[in-house]
Amino acid sequence: MSMEDHDQQRLSALETSITNIEAVLTRLITQQQQPPPAPAPAPAPAAGPGVSAGANSARPLIHPNPPFVFDGDRTLGKSFLHSVKQYWRLLPKAFFESRVVSEEKVVCFALSYMSKDSAASWSERMSERTPFPFPTWTLFVTEFKLRFVEENEQDHALARLETHLYYMGSRDVFKYTDEYDDLLDLAGEMLRACSQVNLL
């Protein structure tokens, strides 16, 4: 096979992937723009914290930021998953299929934002597979974390907390406590297990 034939095959595969992703996005946009069937009017809830008067209207009152374009940077992998999940939580109707959230649509939505560098290559490969390898969000997250989330981040966080080098210094107290809380969250169960052993 000549280099030109190989390049032509790659170009054809890329065009097919882009066409598939565009089709999924078009379906999502169309479904989001179609008004849902008019629900039976429900009694208005009493006004309270976080409840707005138009909570039952067909148009969403919030417009969350979409996820950022993910390029495969392992330091941003968890943030990317979080941004997709938050979008999904805030606009679940965008992912409805027969009045139920389609996790496969959520995964396709996430894949559409993986459009640079190593993330784009992986996204294209996964999108081309038949059957689609991620019918659920959990399957996607498991595979995504293996490839795009830093390894041993729990160990790194615990090691950082245990060293004498971790101190506030001249940092702002809020930044210091935020970082400390983040490290505690990352260290998680491992830190709790270590503290129980140290107490004995």
Q: How far is CA 5 from CA 16, 18, 89, in A?
A: 16, 20, 45
DSSP 78-110: HHHHHHHHHHHHH-GGGGEETTEE-HHHHHHHH
Taking the domains of the chain in order of start, what are their residue ranges? 3-33+62-148, 153-199
Express each pLDDT in 23-82 by its tens digit. Answer: 887 887 777 777 666 665 655 544 444 334 444 556 657 888 899 999 999 889 989 999
Express each pLDDT in 115-158 by its tens digit. Answer: 999 999 999 999 999 999 999 999 999 899 888 887 766 666 66
Q: How confident is the model at residue 194 (pLDDT cuts 50, 70, 90)?
A: low
Beta bridge partners of 179: none
HSE value, Cβ hemisphere, 13 Å, CA-based, for 58: 9
Instruction: Specify the pLDDT at position 1.
Output: 73
Cα–Cα distance, 128 to 16 (Å, whole number): 8
Closest CA to 85 of 30, 153, 126, 140: 140
pTM here is 0.52
Neighbours of 148 (CB within 10 A): 22
Residue 29 is encoded by which pair of tokens?
A: 């946009």
| Distant-in-sequence, close-in-space partners of 62: CB < 8 Å, separation ≥ 6 | 90
Triad 100, 101, 107: Cα angle to 5°: 150
Cα–Cα distance, 70 to 76 (Å, whole number): 8
